[in-house]
Amino acid sequence: MSSDRWEDFSDLFREGRQPLPRAWADVFGPLRKGTVDDLVIVGQIGQSLDGRIATESGHSKYINGPGGLVHLHRLRALMDAVVVGVGTAIADDPQLTVRRVAGPQPARVVVDPKGRLGGSARMFADNGVRRLLITAQGTCCAPPSGVEIVALPVVDGQIAPSAILAALAGCGMRRVLIEGGANTVSRFLAAGCLDRLHVMVAPIVLGAGGPGLIVPPVERADQAQRMPFRVHQIGDDVLFDCDLSAQRVPLGVAKKST
């Protein structure tokens, strides 16, 4: 993608003063600074050509190829925090680390309203990175030592995406990656809480299985939301970088810059 080393780019990206190398800037430049407020919220989803994120049996490792996986790790390296829902944390037991590229490790966050995630989850591993468990007020949680508990109100059985992001901003997290699963990314999209959506499409057809984005239906095709987008080939996969800033609700500012 560029002769510039990724380590150099990630440093320039966070410093925010110098122009970015053009090849890197095309994909990651829009994530450098928010256009609605101080925050930059990015949703990410990997799927097949027919919009599936897993097979009918639930298998999903790996739909995207090596290029798509490297892109995901680069996203993590540029973010202050990476968020997953408890369903993904239980099913996939992700590490949520930067392993395929150089760069700083983001804080790891799980949205777990009922305190279902066990203490042995790999995302709770103590490796010097902040770990947060976002849960419902009144839930009894006993995560491993060092994991911060953030208790938030529940509305209609769910914790509002805007409340989650406000809490993370209060912890000093300005750039946030909503990594999965599909239900969690869809909830943030429907709530108007994403600045960008990265959809990485693999050249495979699964035929059945877990769907990707799940949003309220429309009656007519011409009522569907259209958005500005760019397309990038990342290895054998194709990235759709969708600009959702026009529908993003104001969320505020981070307590401190990280």
58-106 pLDDT tens trace: 888 889 999 999 999 999 999 999 999 999 999 999 999 999 998 899 9
Residue 251 half-sphere exposure, CB side, CA atoms within 13 Å?
Answer: 33
CA-to-CA dists, residue 139 to 135, 151, 187, angstroms: 7, 8, 21
What percentage of the chain exceeds 90 in pLDDT? 78
The neighbour count for residue 173, using CB atoms within 10 Å, is 26
Residues 202-252 have pLDDT tens digits of 999 999 998 999 888 889 999 888 899 999 999 999 999 999 999 999 998
Distance CA(37)–CA(192), nearest Å, equals 13
Report the half-sphere exposure of 72 (CA within 13 A, side-chain side).
27
